[in-house]
Amino acid sequence: MSILDVNNVSKSFGGVKANVDISIKVNEGEIVGLIGPNGSGKTTLFNSIVGTHPIDNGSIKFQGEEISKLTVPTIAKLGLLRTFQQTRIYGKLNCVQNLLISYKPEKENINTMFSKIPKNLNDKAEKILEFVGLYQKRNLRAGDLSFGQQKLLELAMALMNEPKMLLLDEPTAGINPTLINGIIDRLIRINKEFGITLLVIEHNMKVVMQLAQKVFCIAHGQLLAEGNPDQIKNDKRVIDAYLGAQ
Amino acid sequence: MKKDYLYLFVDFISKLTSKENKTYFFSGIILFLLLAPFIFSAYKVQLSFMLILILLAMTWDVQGGQMGYNTFGNILFFGVGMYLCASIQIGMFFPLAEWTESGGEKTFVHSTDQYFQGLFVGLIFAGLIPPIIAGLIGYGILGLRGHYFAICTLGLGIAAGELAGGIELIGAGQGMTTPPFPKGLGSLELRSQVFYFLCLALLVFTFITLRWLYSTRFGLVLNAIRDNEDKAEAMGIYTMRYKISGWMISAFFVGIAGGLVGNIVGYIEPIEVAFDGREMGVFMVLMTILGGKGTLWGPIIGATAFHIFKESFWSMFLGWQYVALGVLIIVIVIYFPEGIMGYLREKYPEKFGEAVDEKDRKAQVTLN
Amino acid sequence: MDFLIFQSPYLLFQASMDGILLGILFALIAYGMALQWGVMNIINIAQGELVIMGGYIAYFMYTAGIHPAFGVIVSPIIMYFVGVGLYKLVINKVVDRDLFISILATFGISILTMQLMNFAFGADVVVAQSDFGTLMLFDNKVTLPVSKLFSAGVAIIFAIILVLYMKKSKLGRAIRATAQNARAAKILGVDTEKVYASTFGINAALCGVAGACVAITFTLHPYVGLPYTVRSFMIVIVAGLGNLPGVALSGMALGLFEEYADYLLGTEFRIASVFFLLVLILIYRRFKLARTREYLK
């Protein structure tokens, strides 16, 4: 059952063709990797999917529904979230507050706008912070956290929102190597226990091999190859793309 | 060892406002404010203005401090409220155009009933129309960000003043007078008292509303918009709804405040009084920054301090007021941008419930 | 609304000519604002006050018996040092910070200087008489004060001088490098402090030239600075930073708009229409960008 259907999506910025005719399918419950050399258009594709900018061509379907013309908050409300490469958190609020505000009420109406935040959310927030290892830092201002810690906070915020699918933009970049195994473990648990489908941009090949069941490789804005991790690892085109051969 | 008097002071305040003592603290303040016009009977009008300034600072902070949208345009609602209230007060009983032409109160006299009816209805509309305006233009204007929003609202505020200065019906450049207090009722004393208590009631209402607002999800969303609007949208928040609602709430209180001030001053001039971007408009921003943006009490402290300073020293600076004001703005903005509350928060985080164990701060994150 | 302007081709020509000549002056001021916005990321709310200050220098010369046309030489020189002084006193402390802080700080400078000028020169509306005379065209149906031609000509000359200076001189290249990437420029040995101070000084000088022209051609008053600031801001956001032809065209378009508005709505609404136009431009931009889900940065 495909949860995300990207079909022939193209996006240019001025003269630069960032995405050319890209088609990707992610099935429900999968962990899919998105790899490719720097500047190949991976983050642009993420931005296209979550609605940060309109696409020039093609269609993007989430859970069977066309989302390419929807705005960012609408898509997020449908259950499709993303994390950012350069972390985005609420700097002046503390970690718990960052999570409390990430909670998604079922309906967004006058009631939920002006109601007090339910007390039980605090417990939920603390549990999730513990899950990502930030419990001790829960009262710190988010802006005071290190880059890696902010990445974990972003992950926690996403979990609080209970998405159906999560697009992760380089979740292990800038993270202390000793923590990477822990993160891989958490991501696998998120996928298995919470049932969240993951599409992950990654540069760290070891992480991709451990995490993903399926991998797409993008280079120069185009889809280069797809397959399971072993196939991709040995794919000559992928190797060439990374090593810069024509 | 030197005594840290500041710490003792902050400690004292936090004890006063602790859970056990809170009710006494607030009751004490309310009592003081209720008695103030009798204790400081010569300063009734100044006290009323101080209350209004506090209100303007607090409402500015909803956009500026809590939401990160620095507006120079709230003065728009102030002026609209002022003109609207006065126009209704007059227009309900007499032809408005003739009033403004002939210098009003000499030809048309309000009876006591008419006066208070007019005032009541006028204030209601002063509270109703500005939020509607905010709602209508909000979708366009609040779609701008950062300095574009600031300058656009600056343009709005000034354009409104210039526009009002061209409309004959409300007195054009000369402005108009508001209905004078009914002569039979009593002296100037009574008038000042009545308006003082109206201002006080409005301020208390504003305080309670904003205090409640900041304790709800709405308050937290405003802060999220301030800290990272793109992230808030990416997390599924329809930020425009919150931005517009916040502006409408501010517009409501600011509009009524305008209606009251118009009556206190007695004479509405488009650029000097109603849409006074240069004074009231700037004061709003300055006071809040001085006291501390983004906090409940910051604007209150800032407005009070500013007002007392202004009243004490303005006459000293006679002729040089704007030079002093300009210097003050520069000094505050460069050296003191966090304001009083911000400074205290940095120095004594534990008093604000923000203390974090150094152990926790330095701890390494582990994931096993 | 008074549609007389569209009924008489002479009035239309008069308004158009006045508008274009006025607009060239606006463009000069806008160029200065674009310069410091692009190089130092500062929005100078006191821009209009700098113009008026420059104007008062020319007026002072006039009251001292010197022909105010020389003001277009003297004023920029004095204003350059005023600009550098302001930079060293205030601006250098807000350069690296939030844009809003620069708005507030320059706002403080603006009200400060407004009152200082009020002291120095009084609150009367004044003109620096140039006695340049007036040309009468088309059978005396259209009047063209020579001062307006003079102002436009001076503005164009100074604009050309500035463009050449920026292209050829060492400081000009340093300024352009800093505008593109301040950090890189610093690493490569550019004294960014000096660049910033000079940029602000040059901007003040440009305002000085424009102010002298205003003094000769129009009127001076301590409190009419803000509309000049708003006009230059509008021109910059329409034309974009670093687009000199765009600045010139937008300036002229704004001049035209103002003159037409003056005839259509009456002089008492002239300033209001300028501010309203600002709001409209920004809102238009906002909705246009929203189509591609962006916003004005």
Residue C2: exposed, middle, or buried by beta-carbon count in 10 A (0-12, 13-18, 19+)? exposed
Give the tokens for residue B282: 């700037």
**Residue spans per domain, chain A:** 2-243
Question: Is the Cβ–Cβ distance between C147 and C72 less than 8 Å?
Answer: no
Tell whether B176 and B217 lie within a shared domain: yes
User: Cα(A44)–Cα(A48) distance, rounded to whole angstroms?
Assistant: 6
Tell whether B129 and B159 lie within a shared domain: yes
Tell whether B231 and B291 lie within a shared domain: no
Tell whether B251 and B306 lie within a shared domain: no
- Which of chain C's residues have a Cβ under 8 Å away from the Cβ of B146? 99-100, 297
**Lowest model confidence (mean pLDDT) among A57-61, A191-195, B279-283, C285-289:** B279-283
Question: Is the Cβ–Cβ distance between A32 and A26 less than 8 Å?
Answer: yes
Please check whether residue B20 lies inside any domain of the structure.
no
Tell whether B116 and B196 lie within a shared domain: yes
**Is C7 touching A (CB cutoff 8 A)?**
no
Give the tokens for residue C196: 């910033």
Tell whether B221 and B301 lie within a shared domain: no
C145 forms beta bridges with C134
Q: Which residue of A has its CA nearest to B237?
A: A73
Is the C-alpha dihedral spanning B92, B93, B95, B97 positive or negative?
A: negative
A2 forms beta bridges with A27
Give the tokens for residue A30: 């999968």
User: Cα(B232)–Cα(B218) distance, rounded to whole angstroms?
Assistant: 13
What is the pLDDT at residue B2? 63
Residue showing tokens 């006050």: C49
Strand order in the sheet with A16-27: A16-27, A2-13, A57-62, A65-66
Please check whether residue B29 lies inside any domain of the structure.
no
- Which of chain B's residues have a Cβ under 8 Å away from the Cβ of A137? 360-361, 363, 365
Give the tokens for residue A36: 């490719």
Subunits in contact with chain B (3 or more CB pairs closer than 8 Å): A, C
Tell whether B88 and B169 lie within a shared domain: yes
Q: Checking DSSP bridges between strand C142-145 and strand C134-137, what pairing results, if any?
A: antiparallel
Tell whether B96 and B188 lie within a shared domain: yes
- pLDDT tens digits, B10-33: 888 878 777 778 888 888 888 888
3-state secondary structure of A16: strand
Give Rg (Cα) of chain C. 19
What is the pLDDT at residue B114? 85
Query: For residue B182, is pLDDT > 70?
Result: yes
Instruction: Please choose, from the candidates C120, C130, C114, the residue with its C-alpha nearest in 3D space to the C-alpha of residue C58.
Output: C130
User: Cα(B244)–Cα(B247) distance, rounded to whole angstroms?
Assistant: 5
Q: How far is CA C292 from CA A7, A56, C288, in A?
A: 20, 11, 8
Binning pLDDT at 50, 70 and 90, where does residue B105 land? low
Average pLDDT over residues A126-134: 93
Q: Per CATH, is A2-243 categorized as 3.30.70.260?
A: no
Question: Is the Cβ–Cβ distance between B73 and B282 less than 8 Å?
Answer: no
Q: Where are the beta strands (DSSP E) in chain B?
A: 176-177, 267-268
User: Cα(B288)–Cα(C24) distance, rounded to whole angstroms?
Assistant: 40
Q: Which residue of B has its CA nearest to A82?
A: B234
Please check whether residue B234 lies inside any domain of the structure.
yes
Instruction: Please choose, from the candidates A195, A166, A229, A209, the residue with its C-alpha nearest in 3D space to the C-alpha of residue A29.
Output: A195
- Do the Cβ atoms of B235 and A161 come within 8 Å? yes
What is the pLDDT at residue C175? 87
Range of B334's domain?
286-352
Tell whether B127 and B201 lie within a shared domain: yes
Give the tokens for residue B69: 């949208």
What is the pLDDT at residue B188? 76
CA distance A173 to chain C (A): 25
Question: How would DSSP label each residue in B19-79?
Answer: TTTHHHHHHHHHHHHHHHHHHTGGGHHHHHHHHHHHHHHHHHHHHTTSS----S-THHHHH
Tally of domains in chain B? 2
Give Rg (Cα) of chain B. 22
DSSP A216: E
What is the pLDDT at residue C206? 95
- Across the interface, which of C104, C114, C283 has its CB nearest the CB of B333? C104
Q: Cα B204 vs. chain centroid, distance in angstroms? A: 12
Is the C-alpha dihedral spanning A160, A165, A167, A172 positive or negative?
A: positive
What is the pLDDT at residue A246? 45
Q: Answer with the one of B252, B275, B298 that is the final residue of a domain.
A: B275
Mean pLDDT rounded to a whole number for chain B: 87
Please check whether residue B7 lies inside any domain of the structure.
no
- pLDDT tens digits, B111-165: 888 888 889 999 999 999 999 999 999 999 999 988 899 989 988 988 898 888 8
Tally the C-alpha atoms within 13 A of residue A203's C-alpha that lie toward its C-beta: 13
- Do the Cβ atoms of C292 and A51 come within 8 Å? no
- Across the interface, which of B218, B226, B360 has its CB nearest the CB of A136? B360
What is the pLDDT at residue B356? 75
CA distance B300 to chain A (A): 21
Mean pLDDT rounded to a whole number for chain C: 88
- Best interface-test mutation with A: which of C98, C291, C293, C294 has the largest number of A CBs within 10 A? C293
Give the tokens for residue B200: 């006080």
Question: Is the Cβ–Cβ distance between C91 and B333 less than 8 Å?
Answer: no
User: Cα(C251)–Cα(C271) distance, rounded to whole angstroms?
Assistant: 16
- Across the interface, which of B163, B325, B334 has its CB nearest the CB of C272? B163
What is the pLDDT at residue A244? 63
The CA-CA-CA angle for residues C60, C64, C67, to 5°, reads 85
3-state secondary structure of B294: coil
Q: Which residue of C has its CA nearest to B338?
A: C101
Residue B265: other Cβ atoms inside 10 A: 17
The CA-CA-CA angle for residues B72, B77, B79, to 5°, reads 100
- pLDDT tens digits, B292-322: 999 999 999 999 999 988 888 777 777 788 8
Single pTM value for the model: 0.91
A5 forms beta bridges with A25, A61
Query: Model ipTM?
Result: 0.92
Tell whether B238 and B169 lie within a shared domain: yes
Is the C-alpha dihedral spanning A59, A63, A64, A66 positive or negative?
A: negative
- Do the Cβ atoms of A72 and C293 come within 8 Å? yes
**Is B139 touching C (CB cutoff 8 A)?**
no
Tell whether B322 and B346 lie within a shared domain: yes
Query: For residue A245, is pLDDT > 60?
Result: no
Q: Checking DSSP bridges between strand C142-145 and strand A222-227, what pairing results, if any?
A: unpaired
E strand or H helix at C196 = helix C192-217
Give the rounded percent of residues in chain B with a pLDDT score beyond 90: 44
Please check whether residue B52 lies inside any domain of the structure.
no
Binning pLDDT at 50, 70 and 90, where does residue B71 land? very high
What is the pLDDT at residue A100? 95
B169-200 burial code (b ≥16 CB/10 A, e <16) = ebbeebbbbbbebbeeeeeeeebbbbbbebbb
- Best interface-test mutation with A: which of B214, B226, B227, B235 has the largest number of A CBs within 10 A? B235
User: Cα(B43)–Cα(C40) distance, rounded to whole angstroms?
Assistant: 47
Question: Could you give phi then psi for residue A134, rounded to 5 degrees?
Answer: -105, 15
**Residue spans per domain, chain C:** 4-291
Residue B339: other Cβ atoms inside 10 A: 24
Q: Cα A9 vs. chain centroid, distance in angstroms? A: 18
CA distance B111 to chain C (A): 36
Give the tokens for residue A42: 């991976």
Positions in chain C whose pLDDT score sits under 50: none
Q: Per CATH, is C4-291 categorized as 2.40.10?
A: no
3-state secondary structure of C60: helix
Q: Which residue of B has its CA nearest to C99?
A: B147
Tell whether B261 and B324 lie within a shared domain: no
- Which of chain A's residues have a Cβ under 8 Å away from the Cβ of B223? 90, 92-93, 97, 101
